[in-house]
């Protein structure tokens, strides 16, 4: 309910270490950035309803888009960051095109992507860097 109310005025959502919502905290994996990159890119390309538009491995960014049931387009950036020699963090930024709020759809998209990545990389998931 709270997400829907926030979504009336806000049309973006992002994750990070300082996020107030525990579900929007960065996710960490015990994998080198290169190995995490390979796994994450292949997983994201297989997700139904999402289209990978651009990948920049040197920067660690994957740009995707998703169309909603109402025809709006959401732009999603997934960042893979090396936090150590064998640990990586994943952060996500999702924004809806247009001037109205998103009714919490960006929040749900982020949770969907994290759920998919956590399932695929369950053996490597860790709580902190």
Q: What is the pLDDT of residue 127?
A: 85
pLDDT digits (tens, 9 = 90+) for 2-12: 555 555 567 88
Q: Which residues contact 112 (CB under 8 A, 6 or more apart)?
A: none
Report, at the CATH architecture level, how domain 2-126 is classified. Answer: 2-Layer Sandwich (3.30)
The enclosing H or E element of 108 equals: helix 105-120
Domain ranges of the chain: 2-126
Question: What per-residue string of b and e applies to 107-119 under the rule 16 or more CB within 10 Å gives b?
Answer: bebbbebbebbee
Taking alpha carbons only, the member of 113, 117, 63, 56 closest to residue 88 is: 117
pLDDT digits (tens, 9 = 90+) for 22-53: 999 999 999 999 999 999 999 999 999 999 99
Inter-residue contact 36 to 28 (CB < 8 Å): no
Q: What is the pLDDT of residue 29?
A: 97
């Amino acid at each position: 309910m709270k997400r829907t109310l926030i979504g009336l005025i806000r049309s973006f959502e992002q994750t990070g270490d300082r996020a107030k919502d525990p579900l929007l905290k960065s996710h960490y994996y015990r994998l080198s950035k290169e190995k995490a990159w390979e796994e994450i890119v292949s997983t994201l390309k297989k997700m139904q309803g999402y289209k990978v538009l651009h990948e920049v491995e040197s920067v660690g960014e994957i740009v995707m888009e998703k169309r909603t049931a109402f025809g709006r387009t959401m732009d999603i950036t997934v960042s893979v960051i090396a936090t150590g020699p064998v640990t990586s963090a994943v952060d996500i930024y999702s924004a809806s095109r247009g001037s109205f709020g998103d009714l919490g759809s960006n929040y749900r998209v982020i949770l969907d992507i994290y759920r998919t990545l956590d399932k695929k990389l369950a053996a490597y998931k860790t709580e902190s860097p």
